[in-house]
Chains A and B, each alone.
Chain A
Amino acid sequence: MANIHELKYTYSLRMADNAWILSHRLSEWCSNGPFLEEDLALTNIALDLIGRAQAFYNYAAELEGKGRTADDLAYRRNERQYYNNLLVEMPNGNFADTIARQLYMSVYEYYFFMSLQNSKDETFAALAAKTLKEVKYHMAHAADWTVRLGDGTEESHEKMQQAINNLWMYTGELFEADETDTALIAQGLGVDNPSLHSLWETHIKNVLEEAKLSLPAANYMQTGGRKGVHTEHLGHMLGEMQYLQRAYPDAKW
């Protein structure tokens, strides 16, 4: 059994990876948004996520206590050593695909960080409280767009429904609890993920109803992110992201 530091390290790393990988995806929208204001809104969310990633990587590095920095954790691990949920590494696709990913993720994060605020770990609790303020905005942004696209034109309705359907199979993983989760839940340090599932689903259902969209039918849920088993997309992202750090290992930037 891992000791408490190791468990918290893993937990912090997972939260950091989720934020870091999603921020990377959102940053890819820069100069590609459907109009300038929205370009800036997506960048803004990306910036919040980078800040969050930095904070959780810092804490992970501190818990690990091996002298690695936040940058080492963000830039010097291989594909199998990233523990983000698969959902956040999914490509941006069209604007509806990005919005569906944002909706699923931000609603999940809303309930997750609400709960983590009560963690007995002071750092987790403090970071959760700070994150929650940002997540509320991310969630409102995603829900507003889901409704506008769902109830906009025929074309936008179809695209939004398609995006909601396509990403559905990556949502189940968010509510899994493995050994790390279970051990931390038992000590009042981590979030009881499975208990968030029905809250999340009701919330999503309400947004989709307002958007005149339908909740996808239950189907097989993908899994693997927490074990470092990812989609093909992650490797390409890391190749690009890590290029300078890997090509010039002695350099500081």
Chain B
Amino acid sequence: MSSNTAPAIEDARLSKFEERVQKGDAIEPRDWMPEAYRKHLIRQISQHAHSEVIGMQPEGNWITRAPSIRAKQILLAKIQDEGGHGLYLYSAAETLGISREEMIEQLQTGKAKYSNIFNYPTLTWADIGAIGWLVDGAAIVNQVSLQRTSYGPYSRAMVRICKEESFHQRQGYEIMAMMMKGTPEQREMAQDAMNRWWWPSLMMFGPHDSDSPHSSDAFRWKIKRHSNDELRTKFIDKTVQQAEVIGLTIPDPELKWNEATGHYDHGEINWDEFYRVIQGNGQCNKQRIAHHKKAHNDGAWVRAAAEAYKVKQAVKNN
């Protein structure tokens, strides 16, 4: 499109766009937007959608072993919510001119990413608590900030999602709290899950601000409103107290309250691990995509049948 437009008109559109964003207007699907903005959003929203969908797998790993009727009901409802979030986010991304099929293909070929955290395995029931509490807890901090993101459909999807995510976080925390009040084996299981999920949860906020490759445009266009480090600190501050209340230890000997900043200082994050897992060498990277492909391929004949039936009905009704 832009190649056919005279540069002067393009510049005028861009400054008008940036002015609107600065004023805090929401950008809607029919509004003009720079290609880089569109691309950035497609990348971010589809990644977010894929994360919701791939996240169904590590949690789904425990549905059939959930230890009580209530636990099973809550877990299943939670995973269903995640799938629903995936749906709204796919729809939000579709408003930017990409189809669900294209997004699924990008996921399956590795062109599109999903949250790195789901490349870690869920080994015990306590991991379900840890995911709800820590992983969803970290996601909420990020998503609350995104409620005011500049793209209208994304911002509205975030408002809905945030309401449900806070229920998820309570669910996870409740599992951990129950286990910490339980038998010695349950407490050990809970602490073990805490030890394994704490650092990957901190990594969810992405690299330190100084190393974050996509940040500058995202800030100027108000897609992103808070930096990775700001959000990470916010998460740590609220989570440390929650851990203390139920008697869990944060696996970071360097964690301490800093009077001067009014925040916790934390030990160094293992960025080698972060990049190793992002680059495909986490325990579950291959497994998650293989699972997604298998379900998708196994379902191909069902989708084809639904399509064929729809066509037959349309012919009949004409």
Residues of A near any B CB (own CB < 8 A): 20, 24, 27-28, 30-40, 43-44, 46-47, 50-51, 53-54, 57, 70-71, 74-75, 94-95, 147-149, 151-153, 155-156, 159, 237, 240-241, 243-245, 248, 250-253
A35-B303, A244-B125 in contact; A51/B73 too (CB < 8 A)?
Answer: yes
A148 touching B309, Cβ below 8 Å:
yes
A34-B299, A40-B83, A50-B76 in contact; A248/B71 too (CB < 8 A)?
Answer: no
Q: Which of B36-44, B56-64, B201-209, B262-270 participates in binding chain A?
A: B56-64
A36-B87, A43-B79, A148-B306 in contact; A54/B69 too (CB < 8 A)?
Answer: yes
Against A, the Cβ 8 Å flags (1 = close, 0 = not) of B234-249 are 0000000000000000
A253 touching B304, Cβ below 8 Å:
no
A20 to B302, CA, bound (A): 27
CB of B16 closer than 8 Å to a CB of A: no
A50 to B301, CA, bound (A): 29
B298 touching A253, Cβ below 8 Å:
no
Bin chain B's interface residue count: 35 or more
- A150 vs chain B, min Cβ distance (A): 9
Query: For chain B residues 279-300, which have a beta carbon within 8 Å of chain A?
Result: 291, 295, 298-300
A155 touching B301, Cβ below 8 Å:
yes
Partner of A37 from the list B70, B72, B87, B307 (CB cut-off 8 Å) is B87
Partner of B60 from the list A30, A36, A44 (CB cut-off 8 Å) is A30
A50-B76, A248-B186, A251-B185 in contact; A152/B304 too (CB < 8 A)?
Answer: yes
**Smallest CB gap from A25: residue in B:** B64
- B254 vs chain A, min Cβ distance (A): 33
B72 touching A31, Cβ below 8 Å:
no
A95-B302, A152-B309, A156-B301 in contact; A245/B64 too (CB < 8 A)?
Answer: no
- A230 vs chain B, min Cβ distance (A): 17
- A147 vs chain B, min Cβ distance (A): 7
**Smallest CB gap from A57: residue in B:** B69
CB of B308 closer than 8 Å to a CB of A: yes
- Residues of B close to A155: CB separation below 8 A: 301, 304-305
A253 touching B71, Cβ below 8 Å:
yes
A20 to B66, CA, bound (A): 13
B68 touching A75, Cβ below 8 Å:
yes
**For the complex of A and B, 4 pairs with smallest distance between CB atoms:** A34-B299, A152-B305, A156-B305, A34-B302
B301 touching A159, Cβ below 8 Å:
yes
A74 touching B69, Cβ below 8 Å:
yes
B76 touching A251, Cβ below 8 Å:
no
- Residues of B close to A245: CB separation below 8 A: 67-68
17 A–B contacts, CB within 8 A, in A order = A28-B64, A31-B79, A31-B291, A33-B295, A47-B77, A50-B72, A54-B69, A57-B69, A71-B68, A71-B69, A71-B70, A237-B64, A245-B67, A251-B183, A252-B182, A253-B125, A253-B179
B63 touching A30, Cβ below 8 Å:
yes
- Residues of B close to A20: CB separation below 8 A: 69
B308 touching A152, Cβ below 8 Å:
yes
Partner of B178 from the list A28, A37, A153, A252 (CB cut-off 8 Å) is A252
CB of B53 closer than 8 Å to a CB of A: yes
A38 to B303, CA, bound (A): 10
**Smallest CB gap from A28: residue in B:** B64
- Residues of A close to B86: CB separation below 8 A: 36
- A164 vs chain B, min Cβ distance (A): 15
B76 touching A43, Cβ below 8 Å:
yes
CB of B109 closer than 8 Å to a CB of A: no
- Residues of A close to B306: CB separation below 8 A: 148, 152
- Residues of B close to A34: CB separation below 8 A: 295, 298-300, 302-303
A54 touching B73, Cβ below 8 Å:
yes
CB of B13 closer than 8 Å to a CB of A: no
A43-B79, A155-B305, A251-B185 in contact; A27/B69 too (CB < 8 A)?
Answer: no
A152-B304, A153-B304, A251-B186 in contact; A40/B80 too (CB < 8 A)?
Answer: yes
A27 touching B72, Cβ below 8 Å:
yes
A55 to B153, CA, bound (A): 40
A151-B309, A151-B312 in contact; A27/B87 too (CB < 8 A)?
Answer: no
**Smallest CB gap from A58: residue in B:** B69
- Residues of A close to B87: CB separation below 8 A: 36-37, 40
A240 to B70, CA, bound (A): 17
A151 to B312, CA, bound (A): 9
A95 to B301, CA, bound (A): 10
Partner of A149 from the list B63, B67, B179, B302 (CB cut-off 8 Å) is B302
A47 to B75, CA, bound (A): 10
A207 to B314, CA, bound (A): 20
- Residues of A close to B67: CB separation below 8 A: 75, 244-245, 251, 253
CB of B84 closer than 8 Å to a CB of A: yes
A149 to B183, CA, bound (A): 50
User: Which one of A38, A44, A153 has the greatest number of beta carbons of chain B within 10 Å?
Assistant: A153
